[in-house]
Structure 1
Amino acid sequence: MKPIIIFIMTTIATSVALTTSVSAMTNQQMPYKSYCAKMVNYTMYTLARMKSAAKTDKASAEEKLGYAYVCGRGVQQDWAKANYWFTKAAEQGNADAENGLGIAYSHGVGVQQDWGKANYWFTKAAEQGNADAENGLGIAYSHGVGVQQDWGKANYWFTKAAEQGNADAENGLGIAYSHGLGVQQDWAKANYWFTKAAEQGDADAENGLGIANSHCRRVHQECATANYWFTKAAEQGDADAENDWGIAHSC
Protein backbone atom coordinates (compact mmCIF):
# COMPACT_ATOMS: atom_id res chain seq x y z
CA MET A 1 0.00 0.00 0.00
CA LYS A 2 1.38 3.40 -0.94
CA PRO A 3 2.41 5.79 1.88
CA ILE A 4 -0.16 8.45 0.88
CA ILE A 5 -2.98 5.88 1.12
CA ILE A 6 -1.74 4.72 4.52
CA PHE A 7 -1.73 8.35 5.72
CA ILE A 8 -5.28 8.95 4.47
CA MET A 9 -6.59 5.77 6.10
CA THR A 10 -4.86 6.62 9.38
CA THR A 11 -6.33 10.11 9.30
CA ILE A 12 -9.83 8.73 8.73
CA ALA A 13 -9.45 6.25 11.59
CA THR A 14 -8.19 8.99 13.90
CA SER A 15 -11.02 11.31 12.91
CA VAL A 16 -13.54 8.63 13.82
CA ALA A 17 -11.89 8.26 17.24
CA LEU A 18 -11.95 12.02 17.74
CA THR A 19 -15.66 12.33 17.03
CA THR A 20 -16.82 9.86 19.67
CA SER A 21 -20.28 10.88 20.87
CA VAL A 22 -20.52 12.55 24.28
CA SER A 23 -23.30 10.06 25.03
CA ALA A 24 -20.67 7.29 24.93
CA MET A 25 -18.64 8.89 27.72
CA THR A 26 -18.02 7.07 30.99
CA ASN A 27 -19.41 8.35 34.30
CA GLN A 28 -15.93 9.56 35.24
CA GLN A 29 -15.70 11.60 32.03
CA MET A 30 -19.15 13.19 32.31
CA PRO A 31 -18.07 16.11 34.55
CA TYR A 32 -15.77 17.13 31.68
CA LYS A 33 -18.49 16.78 29.01
CA SER A 34 -18.50 20.45 27.98
CA TYR A 35 -14.77 20.27 27.28
CA CYS A 36 -15.01 16.95 25.46
CA ALA A 37 -17.79 18.33 23.28
CA LYS A 38 -15.47 21.11 22.12
CA MET A 39 -12.89 18.55 21.00
CA VAL A 40 -15.02 16.46 18.67
CA ASN A 41 -13.69 18.28 15.61
CA TYR A 42 -10.04 17.96 16.56
CA THR A 43 -7.94 16.42 13.79
CA MET A 44 -4.75 14.39 13.99
CA TYR A 45 -2.91 17.49 12.76
CA THR A 46 -4.42 19.58 15.57
CA LEU A 47 -3.26 17.10 18.18
CA ALA A 48 0.23 16.92 16.71
CA ARG A 49 0.54 20.72 16.94
CA MET A 50 -0.86 20.62 20.47
CA LYS A 51 1.72 18.08 21.63
CA SER A 52 4.52 20.08 20.04
CA ALA A 53 3.40 23.31 21.73
CA ALA A 54 2.97 21.55 25.10
CA LYS A 55 6.61 20.51 25.01
CA THR A 56 7.55 24.20 24.96
CA ASP A 57 5.57 24.74 28.19
CA LYS A 58 2.76 26.65 26.47
CA ALA A 59 -0.09 26.63 29.01
CA SER A 60 -3.01 26.62 26.56
CA ALA A 61 -1.55 23.59 24.75
CA GLU A 62 -0.86 21.78 28.03
CA GLU A 63 -4.44 22.39 29.13
CA LYS A 64 -5.89 21.10 25.87
CA LEU A 65 -3.61 18.08 25.94
CA GLY A 66 -4.88 17.37 29.44
CA TYR A 67 -8.46 17.33 28.15
CA ALA A 68 -7.42 15.16 25.21
CA TYR A 69 -6.26 12.55 27.72
CA VAL A 70 -9.46 12.97 29.76
CA CYS A 71 -11.71 12.54 26.74
CA GLY A 72 -9.56 10.03 24.86
CA ARG A 73 -9.45 12.27 21.80
CA GLY A 74 -6.69 11.01 19.51
CA VAL A 75 -4.84 9.48 22.47
CA GLN A 76 -5.50 6.62 24.85
CA GLN A 77 -7.59 7.88 27.76
CA ASP A 78 -5.21 8.32 30.72
CA TRP A 79 -6.12 10.13 33.95
CA ALA A 80 -2.53 10.34 35.22
CA LYS A 81 -1.33 12.04 32.03
CA ALA A 82 -4.39 14.30 32.01
CA ASN A 83 -3.67 15.55 35.52
CA TYR A 84 0.04 15.90 34.74
CA TRP A 85 -0.72 18.31 31.90
CA PHE A 86 -3.44 20.07 33.89
CA THR A 87 -0.93 20.70 36.68
CA LYS A 88 1.65 22.06 34.25
CA ALA A 89 -0.88 24.51 32.81
CA ALA A 90 -2.54 25.36 36.14
CA GLU A 91 0.81 26.36 37.62
CA GLN A 92 0.88 29.03 34.91
CA GLY A 93 -2.59 30.27 35.86
CA ASN A 94 -4.61 28.60 33.10
CA ALA A 95 -8.24 28.69 34.35
CA ASP A 96 -9.49 25.70 32.35
CA ALA A 97 -6.63 23.56 33.68
CA GLU A 98 -7.31 24.76 37.23
CA ASN A 99 -10.92 23.70 36.77
CA GLY A 100 -9.75 20.36 35.35
CA LEU A 101 -7.78 19.72 38.53
CA GLY A 102 -10.76 20.81 40.62
CA ILE A 103 -12.91 18.19 38.91
CA ALA A 104 -10.20 15.55 39.28
CA TYR A 105 -9.85 16.11 43.03
CA SER A 106 -13.59 16.42 43.64
CA HIS A 107 -14.33 13.13 41.86
CA GLY A 108 -11.12 11.29 42.70
CA VAL A 109 -10.14 10.56 39.11
CA GLY A 110 -6.44 9.86 38.74
CA VAL A 111 -5.86 11.26 42.24
CA GLN A 112 -7.09 10.63 45.76
CA GLN A 113 -10.41 12.43 46.26
CA ASP A 114 -9.71 15.61 48.20
CA TRP A 115 -12.35 18.35 48.35
CA GLY A 116 -9.91 20.74 50.03
CA LYS A 117 -7.64 20.61 46.98
CA ALA A 118 -10.65 20.58 44.66
CA ASN A 119 -11.98 23.81 46.13
CA TYR A 120 -8.52 25.38 46.02
CA TRP A 121 -8.36 24.84 42.26
CA PHE A 122 -12.03 25.70 41.71
CA THR A 123 -11.45 28.99 43.51
CA LYS A 124 -8.39 29.80 41.42
CA ALA A 125 -10.37 29.20 38.24
CA ALA A 126 -13.58 30.87 39.47
CA GLU A 127 -11.65 34.04 40.30
CA GLN A 128 -10.90 34.20 36.58
CA GLY A 129 -14.58 33.81 35.70
CA ASN A 130 -14.56 30.11 34.77
CA ALA A 131 -18.25 29.12 34.86
CA ASP A 132 -17.65 25.41 35.46
CA ALA A 133 -15.44 26.21 38.45
CA GLU A 134 -18.01 28.68 39.79
CA ASN A 135 -20.56 25.89 39.61
CA GLY A 136 -18.08 23.57 41.33
CA LEU A 137 -17.86 25.98 44.26
CA GLY A 138 -21.64 26.24 44.30
CA ILE A 139 -21.84 22.47 44.67
CA ALA A 140 -19.16 22.47 47.39
CA TYR A 141 -20.95 25.12 49.49
CA SER A 142 -24.42 23.63 48.95
CA HIS A 143 -23.27 20.19 50.07
CA GLY A 144 -20.70 21.30 52.64
CA VAL A 145 -17.84 19.33 51.10
CA GLY A 146 -14.40 20.70 51.91
CA VAL A 147 -16.08 23.84 53.26
CA GLN A 148 -18.75 24.75 55.80
CA GLN A 149 -22.18 24.35 54.18
CA ASP A 150 -23.42 27.80 53.23
CA TRP A 151 -26.34 28.22 50.83
CA GLY A 152 -25.74 31.96 50.62
CA LYS A 153 -22.28 31.37 49.17
CA ALA A 154 -23.56 28.44 47.10
CA ASN A 155 -26.18 30.65 45.44
CA TYR A 156 -23.62 33.39 44.89
CA TRP A 157 -21.45 31.02 42.86
CA PHE A 158 -24.42 29.34 41.17
CA THR A 159 -25.62 32.77 40.05
CA LYS A 160 -22.18 33.72 38.70
CA ALA A 161 -22.10 30.50 36.66
CA ALA A 162 -25.76 30.59 35.62
CA GLU A 163 -25.33 34.10 34.23
CA GLN A 164 -22.82 32.54 31.84
CA GLY A 165 -25.32 29.87 30.80
CA ASN A 166 -24.03 26.98 32.91
CA ALA A 167 -26.92 24.48 32.97
CA ASP A 168 -25.86 22.73 36.18
CA ALA A 169 -25.77 26.08 38.00
CA GLU A 170 -29.14 27.07 36.55
CA ASN A 171 -30.55 23.85 37.95
CA GLY A 172 -28.84 24.59 41.28
CA LEU A 173 -30.65 27.93 41.47
CA GLY A 174 -33.90 26.20 40.54
CA ILE A 175 -33.45 23.86 43.51
CA ALA A 176 -32.54 26.75 45.82
CA TYR A 177 -35.62 28.80 44.91
CA SER A 178 -38.00 25.82 44.91
CA HIS A 179 -36.93 24.78 48.41
CA GLY A 180 -36.07 28.20 49.87
CA LEU A 181 -32.42 27.35 50.45
CA GLY A 182 -30.47 30.52 51.17
CA VAL A 183 -33.19 32.53 49.42
CA GLN A 184 -36.88 33.24 49.86
CA GLN A 185 -38.87 30.38 48.31
CA ASP A 186 -40.05 31.58 44.93
CA TRP A 187 -41.52 29.10 42.45
CA ALA A 188 -41.59 31.63 39.63
CA LYS A 189 -37.82 32.07 39.90
CA ALA A 190 -37.34 28.34 40.42
CA ASN A 191 -39.22 27.56 37.23
CA TYR A 192 -37.33 30.27 35.35
CA TRP A 193 -34.00 28.65 36.20
CA PHE A 194 -35.28 25.09 35.73
CA THR A 195 -36.51 26.09 32.28
CA LYS A 196 -33.16 27.67 31.35
CA ALA A 197 -31.37 24.47 32.32
CA ALA A 198 -33.97 22.13 30.82
CA GLU A 199 -33.67 23.91 27.48
CA GLN A 200 -30.04 22.78 27.49
CA GLY A 201 -31.08 19.19 28.16
CA ASP A 202 -30.37 19.08 31.89
CA ALA A 203 -32.24 15.99 33.13
CA ASP A 204 -32.49 17.15 36.75
CA ALA A 205 -34.03 20.44 35.65
CA GLU A 206 -36.45 18.64 33.35
CA ASN A 207 -37.53 16.57 36.35
CA GLY A 208 -37.81 19.75 38.43
CA LEU A 209 -40.17 21.27 35.88
CA GLY A 210 -42.16 18.05 35.83
CA ILE A 211 -42.60 18.25 39.60
CA ALA A 212 -43.54 21.93 39.41
CA ASN A 213 -46.16 21.28 36.75
CA SER A 214 -47.58 18.17 38.41
CA HIS A 215 -48.21 20.15 41.59
CA CYS A 216 -49.39 23.25 39.71
CA ARG A 217 -46.80 25.32 41.52
CA ARG A 218 -47.13 28.71 39.86
CA VAL A 219 -46.82 27.19 36.43
CA HIS A 220 -50.59 26.91 35.76
CA GLN A 221 -50.29 24.08 33.25
CA GLU A 222 -51.77 20.61 33.02
CA CYS A 223 -50.42 17.18 33.86
CA ALA A 224 -49.56 16.70 30.19
CA THR A 225 -46.84 19.31 30.57
CA ALA A 226 -45.53 17.63 33.72
CA ASN A 227 -45.38 14.31 31.95
CA TYR A 228 -43.59 15.89 28.99
CA TRP A 229 -40.74 17.03 31.25
CA PHE A 230 -40.71 13.80 33.27
CA THR A 231 -40.42 11.86 30.03
CA LYS A 232 -37.59 14.09 28.76
CA ALA A 233 -35.65 13.47 31.97
CA ALA A 234 -36.50 9.77 32.13
CA GLU A 235 -35.22 9.29 28.58
CA GLN A 236 -31.81 10.38 29.89
CA GLY A 237 -31.97 7.71 32.59
CA ASP A 238 -33.04 9.99 35.47
CA ALA A 239 -34.43 7.48 38.02
CA ASP A 240 -36.25 10.16 40.02
CA ALA A 241 -38.05 11.31 36.87
CA GLU A 242 -39.08 7.75 36.06
CA ASN A 243 -40.60 7.44 39.53
CA ASP A 244 -42.23 10.89 39.41
CA TRP A 245 -43.62 10.14 35.94
CA GLY A 246 -45.43 7.14 37.42
CA ILE A 247 -46.81 9.23 40.27
CA ALA A 248 -47.96 11.94 37.87
CA HIS A 249 -50.14 9.44 36.02
CA SER A 250 -52.37 9.32 39.08
CA CYS A 251 -53.44 12.94 38.50
Structure 2
Amino acid sequence: MSAASFGSTRAQILLGQLFLDGNGMPRSRVEARRWFEKAAASNSAEGINMVGRCHEFGWGGPPDLAKAADCYRRAAMRDYDWAQFNLASLLHDGRGVAQDRVAARSWFARAARRGHAKAANMLGHYREEGWLCPRRPRAAFRWYTRAARAGDFRGQFNLARCLFATGQRELALVWLDRSIENAIHDFWIDIVPVLSAHPDPAIRRRGDLAGRLAMTGSGRSAGASEAGSP
Protein backbone atom coordinates (compact mmCIF):
# COMPACT_ATOMS: atom_id res chain seq x y z
CA MET A 1 0.00 0.00 0.00
CA SER A 2 2.79 2.45 0.90
CA ALA A 3 4.63 1.96 -2.42
CA ALA A 4 1.38 2.52 -4.31
CA SER A 5 0.66 5.64 -2.27
CA PHE A 6 4.10 7.03 -3.07
CA GLY A 7 3.56 6.70 -6.81
CA SER A 8 4.90 3.31 -7.86
CA THR A 9 2.72 2.53 -10.88
CA ARG A 10 3.50 -1.17 -10.66
CA ALA A 11 2.44 -1.22 -7.01
CA GLN A 12 -0.72 0.72 -7.89
CA ILE A 13 -1.65 -1.83 -10.54
CA LEU A 14 -0.95 -4.76 -8.22
CA LEU A 15 -3.02 -3.15 -5.49
CA GLY A 16 -5.83 -2.51 -7.95
CA GLN A 17 -5.70 -6.18 -8.96
CA LEU A 18 -5.92 -7.24 -5.30
CA PHE A 19 -9.05 -5.14 -4.84
CA LEU A 20 -10.47 -6.45 -8.11
CA ASP A 21 -9.99 -10.08 -7.12
CA GLY A 22 -10.69 -9.65 -3.39
CA ASN A 23 -7.34 -11.22 -2.70
CA GLY A 24 -6.29 -10.48 0.89
CA MET A 25 -8.68 -7.54 1.20
CA PRO A 26 -12.38 -6.79 0.69
CA ARG A 27 -13.29 -6.95 -2.98
CA SER A 28 -13.99 -3.47 -4.34
CA ARG A 29 -14.10 -2.67 -8.01
CA VAL A 30 -14.41 1.02 -7.18
CA GLU A 31 -11.11 0.90 -5.29
CA ALA A 32 -9.57 -1.24 -8.04
CA ARG A 33 -10.49 1.33 -10.63
CA ARG A 34 -9.17 4.18 -8.49
CA TRP A 35 -5.72 2.60 -8.30
CA PHE A 36 -5.69 1.71 -12.00
CA GLU A 37 -6.58 5.32 -12.79
CA LYS A 38 -3.69 6.54 -10.61
CA ALA A 39 -1.30 4.37 -12.61
CA ALA A 40 -2.81 5.55 -15.88
CA ALA A 41 -2.45 9.18 -14.79
CA SER A 42 1.30 8.54 -14.56
CA ASN A 43 1.20 7.38 -18.19
CA SER A 44 1.65 3.68 -17.40
CA ALA A 45 0.66 1.64 -20.45
CA GLU A 46 -0.38 -1.20 -18.16
CA GLY A 47 -2.47 1.19 -16.08
CA ILE A 48 -4.14 2.65 -19.17
CA ASN A 49 -4.96 -0.87 -20.34
CA MET A 50 -6.53 -1.72 -16.98
CA VAL A 51 -8.65 1.44 -17.06
CA GLY A 52 -9.78 0.16 -20.45
CA ARG A 53 -10.81 -3.10 -18.79
CA CYS A 54 -12.79 -1.10 -16.22
CA HIS A 55 -14.63 0.65 -19.04
CA GLU A 56 -15.19 -2.62 -20.91
CA PHE A 57 -16.59 -4.60 -17.97
CA GLY A 58 -18.12 -1.77 -15.93
CA TRP A 59 -15.73 -2.19 -13.00
CA GLY A 60 -16.28 0.75 -10.67
CA GLY A 61 -18.59 2.57 -13.07
CA PRO A 62 -20.83 2.12 -16.10
CA PRO A 63 -19.42 0.19 -19.07
CA ASP A 64 -18.30 2.25 -22.03
CA LEU A 65 -16.83 0.25 -24.89
CA ALA A 66 -15.80 3.30 -26.89
CA LYS A 67 -13.71 4.55 -23.97
CA ALA A 68 -12.33 1.05 -23.51
CA ALA A 69 -11.21 0.98 -27.13
CA ASP A 70 -9.58 4.39 -26.77
CA CYS A 71 -7.61 3.23 -23.73
CA TYR A 72 -6.54 0.04 -25.45
CA ARG A 73 -5.41 1.91 -28.52
CA ARG A 74 -3.32 4.34 -26.48
CA ALA A 75 -1.58 1.50 -24.65
CA ALA A 76 -1.32 -0.66 -27.78
CA MET A 77 0.50 2.08 -29.63
CA ARG A 78 3.14 1.84 -26.92
CA ASP A 79 3.62 -1.86 -27.70
CA TYR A 80 1.85 -3.20 -24.63
CA ASP A 81 0.82 -6.68 -25.73
CA TRP A 82 -2.27 -7.06 -23.53
CA ALA A 83 -3.66 -3.79 -24.88
CA GLN A 84 -2.93 -4.95 -28.43
CA PHE A 85 -4.85 -8.15 -27.76
CA ASN A 86 -7.74 -6.32 -26.09
CA LEU A 87 -8.02 -3.77 -28.90
CA ALA A 88 -7.88 -6.55 -31.48
CA SER A 89 -10.70 -8.37 -29.68
CA LEU A 90 -12.96 -5.31 -29.86
CA LEU A 91 -12.11 -4.77 -33.52
CA HIS A 92 -12.72 -8.44 -34.29
CA ASP A 93 -16.22 -8.36 -32.79
CA GLY A 94 -17.09 -4.76 -33.63
CA ARG A 95 -17.71 -3.83 -29.99
CA GLY A 96 -17.26 -0.14 -29.23
CA VAL A 97 -15.67 0.34 -32.65
CA ALA A 98 -16.56 -0.50 -36.23
CA GLN A 99 -15.79 -4.13 -36.97
CA ASP A 100 -12.45 -4.34 -38.77
CA ARG A 101 -10.94 -7.81 -38.92
CA VAL A 102 -8.02 -6.69 -41.05
CA ALA A 103 -6.96 -4.32 -38.27
CA ALA A 104 -7.83 -6.94 -35.65
CA ARG A 105 -5.58 -9.52 -37.26
CA SER A 106 -2.77 -6.97 -37.46
CA TRP A 107 -3.02 -6.21 -33.74
CA PHE A 108 -3.27 -9.90 -32.85
CA ALA A 109 -0.12 -10.47 -34.89
CA ARG A 110 1.73 -7.64 -33.14
CA ALA A 111 0.79 -9.06 -29.74
CA ALA A 112 1.70 -12.61 -30.79
CA ARG A 113 5.13 -11.45 -31.94
CA ARG A 114 5.66 -10.20 -28.39
CA GLY A 115 4.83 -13.67 -27.07
CA HIS A 116 1.17 -13.16 -26.23
CA ALA A 117 -0.34 -16.65 -26.06
CA LYS A 118 -4.00 -15.65 -26.44
CA ALA A 119 -3.20 -13.60 -29.52
CA ALA A 120 -1.46 -16.62 -31.02
CA ASN A 121 -4.59 -18.68 -30.38
CA MET A 122 -6.73 -16.10 -32.18
CA LEU A 123 -4.39 -16.18 -35.18
CA GLY A 124 -4.93 -19.93 -35.19
CA HIS A 125 -8.67 -19.29 -35.47
CA TYR A 126 -8.09 -16.87 -38.36
CA ARG A 127 -6.22 -19.59 -40.23
CA GLU A 128 -8.58 -22.41 -39.30
CA GLU A 129 -11.82 -20.54 -40.01
CA GLY A 130 -10.60 -18.82 -43.15
CA TRP A 131 -11.22 -15.31 -41.85
CA LEU A 132 -9.70 -12.92 -44.43
CA CYS A 133 -7.88 -15.69 -46.28
CA PRO A 134 -8.37 -19.30 -47.43
CA ARG A 135 -8.39 -21.89 -44.67
CA ARG A 136 -4.89 -23.02 -43.75
CA PRO A 137 -5.08 -25.93 -41.30
CA ARG A 138 -1.31 -26.36 -41.02
CA ALA A 139 -0.81 -22.70 -40.17
CA ALA A 140 -3.65 -22.94 -37.64
CA PHE A 141 -1.96 -25.95 -36.06
CA ARG A 142 1.31 -24.01 -35.72
CA TRP A 143 -0.39 -21.06 -34.03
CA TYR A 144 -2.37 -23.31 -31.69
CA THR A 145 0.85 -25.13 -30.80
CA ARG A 146 2.52 -21.83 -30.01
CA ALA A 147 -0.40 -20.71 -27.85
CA ALA A 148 -0.63 -24.06 -26.07
CA ARG A 149 3.06 -24.21 -25.24
CA ALA A 150 2.85 -20.67 -23.86
CA GLY A 151 0.11 -21.79 -21.45
CA ASP A 152 -3.14 -20.56 -23.01
CA PHE A 153 -5.90 -23.02 -22.10
CA ARG A 154 -7.92 -22.20 -25.22
CA GLY A 155 -4.88 -22.81 -27.37
CA GLN A 156 -4.34 -26.10 -25.53
CA PHE A 157 -7.93 -27.12 -26.20
CA ASN A 158 -7.69 -26.19 -29.88
CA LEU A 159 -4.40 -28.02 -30.25
CA ALA A 160 -6.02 -31.09 -28.68
CA ARG A 161 -8.84 -30.86 -31.24
CA CYS A 162 -6.37 -30.72 -34.11
CA LEU A 163 -4.30 -33.60 -32.77
CA PHE A 164 -7.36 -35.78 -32.28
CA ALA A 165 -8.55 -35.00 -35.81
CA THR A 166 -5.22 -36.22 -37.21
CA GLY A 167 -5.25 -39.46 -35.20
CA GLN A 168 -2.82 -38.40 -32.47
CA ARG A 169 -5.16 -39.42 -29.69
CA GLU A 170 -2.77 -39.88 -26.77
CA LEU A 171 -1.05 -36.55 -27.29
CA ALA A 172 -4.44 -34.91 -27.77
CA LEU A 173 -5.54 -36.19 -24.36
CA VAL A 174 -2.40 -34.76 -22.75
CA TRP A 175 -3.18 -31.28 -24.09
CA LEU A 176 -6.88 -31.62 -23.25
CA ASP A 177 -5.94 -32.42 -19.66
CA ARG A 178 -3.73 -29.33 -19.50
CA SER A 179 -6.51 -27.19 -20.93
CA ILE A 180 -9.02 -28.38 -18.33
CA GLU A 181 -6.48 -27.92 -15.53
CA ASN A 182 -5.67 -24.33 -16.57
CA ALA A 183 -9.16 -23.21 -17.64
CA ILE A 184 -11.57 -20.76 -16.07
CA HIS A 185 -15.07 -21.54 -14.84
CA ASP A 186 -16.88 -20.21 -17.93
CA PHE A 187 -14.71 -22.30 -20.25
CA TRP A 188 -15.49 -25.48 -18.33
CA ILE A 189 -19.18 -24.77 -18.82
CA ASP A 190 -18.65 -24.15 -22.54
CA ILE A 191 -16.76 -27.38 -23.20
CA VAL A 192 -18.94 -29.77 -21.20
CA PRO A 193 -21.53 -30.30 -24.00
CA VAL A 194 -18.77 -30.75 -26.60
CA LEU A 195 -16.80 -33.29 -24.60
CA SER A 196 -19.77 -35.13 -23.12
CA ALA A 197 -21.20 -35.87 -26.58
CA HIS A 198 -17.92 -37.15 -28.01
CA PRO A 199 -17.82 -40.79 -29.15
CA ASP A 200 -14.49 -41.43 -27.39
CA PRO A 201 -15.13 -42.51 -23.77
CA ALA A 202 -11.87 -40.95 -22.55
CA ILE A 203 -13.01 -37.57 -23.81
CA ARG A 204 -16.47 -38.05 -22.31
CA ARG A 205 -14.81 -38.69 -18.93
CA ARG A 206 -13.01 -35.38 -19.28
CA GLY A 207 -16.34 -33.77 -20.01
CA ASP A 208 -17.61 -35.18 -16.72
CA LEU A 209 -14.54 -33.75 -14.98
CA ALA A 210 -15.10 -30.30 -16.48
CA GLY A 211 -18.73 -30.48 -15.35
CA ARG A 212 -17.73 -31.35 -11.79
CA LEU A 213 -15.22 -28.51 -11.71
CA ALA A 214 -17.84 -26.08 -12.96
CA MET A 215 -20.33 -27.30 -10.34
CA THR A 216 -17.89 -26.71 -7.48
CA GLY A 217 -17.55 -23.07 -8.49
CA SER A 218 -13.80 -23.30 -8.02
CA GLY A 219 -12.93 -21.79 -11.37
CA ARG A 220 -11.80 -18.22 -11.85
CA SER A 221 -14.21 -15.72 -13.33
CA ALA A 222 -13.60 -14.62 -16.90
CA GLY A 223 -13.42 -10.93 -16.11
CA ALA A 224 -11.01 -10.89 -13.22
CA SER A 225 -8.80 -13.79 -14.21
CA GLU A 226 -8.30 -12.59 -17.76
CA ALA A 227 -8.08 -8.96 -16.87
CA GLY A 228 -5.37 -8.15 -19.34
CA SER A 229 -2.56 -7.88 -16.82
CA PRO A 230 0.09 -10.50 -16.06
Task: Give the structure-2-normalised TM-score.
Answer: 0.75
The CA distance in 2 between the partners of 1:185 and 1:233, in whole Å, is 24
Which stretches of structure 1, 4 residues or longer, exceed 6 Å deviation after superposition?
Answer: none
Number of positions where the alignment pairs a residue of Structure 1 with one of Structure 2: 197
Residue 173 in structure 1 maps to residue 123 in structure 2: yes
Alpha-carbon contact 1:223-1:248 (below 8 Å) kept: no
Equivalent residue in structure 2 for 1:249, among 184, 189, 200 = 200
| Residue 212 of structure 1: how far off its partner (Å) | 1.5
Residue 232 in structure 1 maps to residue 212 in structure 2: no
- Superposed counterparts of 1:8-157, under 5 Å: 47-51=1-5, 53-54=6-7, 59-157=9-107
Which is further off, 240-249 or 73-82? 240-249
Residue 190 in structure 1 maps to residue 144 in structure 2: no
The CA distance in 2 between the partners of 1:48 and 1:77, in whole Å, is 19
| Residue 61 of structure 1: how far off its partner (Å) | 4.6
| Residue 59 of structure 1: how far off its partner (Å) | 4.5
Q: Name which structure has the greater RCO, CA cutoff 8 Å, separation 6+.
A: 2
The CA distance in 1 between the partners of 2:14 and 2:180, in whole Å, is 33
Secondary structure (helix, strand or coil) at the match of 2:43 reads coil
| Residue 248 of structure 1: how far off its partner (Å) | 5.2
The CA distance in 2 between the partners of 1:201 and 1:231, in whole Å, is 12
Residue 163 in structure 1 maps to residue 113 in structure 2: yes
Q: 1:214 to 1:59 in 2, by over 3 A?
A: closer
The CA distance in 2 between the partners of 1:84 and 1:66, in whole Å, is 7
Q: Which consecutive unaligned segments of at least 5 residues does structure 2 have?
A: 204-230
Question: Which residue number in structure 2 is paired with residue 200 of structure 1?
Answer: 150
The CA distance in 2 between the partners of 1:133 and 1:115, in whole Å, is 14
The CA distance in 2 between the partners of 1:105 and 1:205, in whole Å, is 27
The CA distance in 2 between the partners of 1:224 and 1:190, in whole Å, is 20
Name the larger-Rg structure. Answer: 1
Code of the aligned partner of 1:49: A
* Percent identical: 26
| Residue 195 of structure 1: how far off its partner (Å) | 1.3
The CA distance in 2 between the partners of 1:130 and 1:66, in whole Å, is 18
Secondary structure (helix, strand or coil) at the match of 2:2 reads helix
C-alpha RMSD over aligned residues? 2.4
